[in-house]
Amino acid sequence: MNILGISAFYHDSAAALVRDGEVVAAAQEERFTRKKHDDRFPENAAAYCMREAGIAASGLDAVVFYEKPLLKFERLLETYVAFAPRGLLSFLRAMPVWLQKKLHIPREIDKGLGDYSGPMFFTTHHESHAASAFLPSPFEEAAILTMDGVGEWTTTSWGVGRGNRVELRQEIRFPHSLGLLYSAFTHYCGFRVNSGEYKLMGLAPYGEPCFAGLIREHLLDVRDDGSFRLDQRYFNYGPGLTMTNGRFHRLFGGAPRRPDDPITQRHMDLAASVQLVTEEIVLRLAAHVRRETGLNNLCLAGGVALNCVANGRLLRESGFDGLWIQPAAGDAGGALGAALHHWFHHLGNPRTPRRPDAQHGSCLGPSFSSQEVCEAFDRLGAVYRICRSQGELARMVAGEIAAGKIVGHFAGRAEFGPRALGQRSLLGDPRRQDMQRRMNLAIKFRESFRPFAPAVLSGRQGDYFELEQESPYMLLVAPVRGGRLPPSDGAEALQGLDKLKSVRGELPAVTHVDGSARIQTVRRGDSPRFHAILQAFGELTGCPVLVNTSFNIRGEPIVHSPADAYRCFMFTDMDVLVAEDCILFKADQPPMAGAAEYRRGFHPD
């Protein structure tokens, strides 16, 4: 039985195909269209999933949408009425797209899939999140916690997964939302909502949480069980087109930062403050769920579950023995959750948990054969060499990285979710002090404060990080062993972004200014090629750790095709490109026009 899950029309549209309970394929629409966070119907992603399964739309047995549009429309109407007449402009902007598209999901599915005439089903938004969190997990039973901006009405929910079923027991409803609180500060600090939250989290260690008291006193009423209410007098996301209002701005000392304005210590302190408050609420929620369920394992999904700093504290402080987080925790993962929910929960099919999980390393996207890669490079006039041995390729790549080169790595099936896990990655030497700055400014064209993640051979993470559990999806932050030592002369006196100048331990390129890192552990079974490169680098240098960041520039979706990879390689300061069996060196390539147009083609996120 082939079930297609769909998420669309808010942000990060995606499709996922489940066959008899097995995850066959999943992908986000942005990878195909090259539009970051593309919210349109995932026509390309759905077509890919069906190709991977070897079927046409007529071969689908069910299509499941990840939320219930009528419930969401009800929430919008009730919100506009509650805030009237203040919400009139927002109402007038929202209604046309709802009346033309969002209320007519069956019609949009028919149009997007072509010859599909089978049944359509709808789960609720947080049921989809909960199913994506528990059903692929390795647990027979577990507590479930979902947290995001808002679905239909729900913003936070908790429940229990047992066997093949997911039961949500309690919820917090709009307008009270931990995700929207974090997004409000994202907007206020000058970053884009629904994509800039990563930046706010990365900025937080540069500041001090001196505004946390104001947040707790004025914006939030938090109970012992983690439930909370937001004082809507300080926010504008209910009736308006922005996240915050004048009262909020006066409380925190000024108007929102414009995207091109300098980042000041105040913005760093604001980031540190809302990050701390978010962690406190997440920990309280988890403690309540632990008490109420008595279960030893916890599964997470929803956009807040991508806050890997909070996840690290959950692992260390929540009392749960096991923690599993959906790697596509945001709305994209709702497509997968919807399909799995239909097969297991709705149809009642049995489920046998798998170790390490049923997500297949989240390598669920498209792949390209060596022949397809060579043909693409030939069309572009690229100069490449063919490496016939995977062992030789791994040793060659390791040698280039050890020599200080930055390598673009494109191999196997693309990752599903926002993290590059080695299949579509930029790789560098974490021991080099200048690697973080060089990657940020010369390759990614993004802010210098943004940290990079280390990838480490599974089983060796404890040698370098205070982490024993595996972290295959780069969703846990933990301290770097010796990450704060030895400080360079005068490092203690450095403030703000100047903290980047301090030397931090043996792995400075992946150690954040607070001595932490967002860690990916790499298993041979999930990614044999990436594992071989890490192993070769370890044998060469004694350090089986690499810088791993996504293969793209600022504002661009992660590269999808060999042509995308080549353009990114040519129009940045990347040194080497490895795509399947092909190895390309920058010095060998003919000139390629269009660098400025390429960089202008992607708007900063």
Burial 136-171 (b: 16+ CB within 10 A, else e): bbbbeebbbbbbbbbbbbbbbbbbbbebbbbebeeb
Where do we find the tokens 């978010």? 278
Other beta carbons within 10 angstroms of residue 313's beta carbon come to 18
From residue 215, alpha-carbon distances to 212, 220, 230, 231, 252 in Å are 5, 6, 10, 10, 9
Sequence-distant (≥ 6) Cβ neighbours of residue 576 within 8 angstroms: 397, 400, 405, 406, 407, 408, 583, 584, 585, 586
Active site residue 11: yes
According to DSSP, the β-strands at 322-325 and 297-301 are parallel
Pairwise CA distance, residues 161 & 142, whole Å:
5
Token pair for 56: 């046409």
First to last CA, the chain: 39
Outline where 158-219 has alpha helix (H): 178-188, 197-203, 212-214
The three-state secondary structure class of 133 is helix
Estimate to the nearest angstrom the gap between the alpha carbon of 521 and the chain centroid: 16
Contact 233, 247 (CB under 8 A): yes
Q: Which of 11, 187, 342, 346 is catalytic?
A: 11
Token pair for 62: 């069910």
Contact 421, 415 (CB under 8 A): yes
Task: Supply the residues annotated as catalytic.
Answer: 11
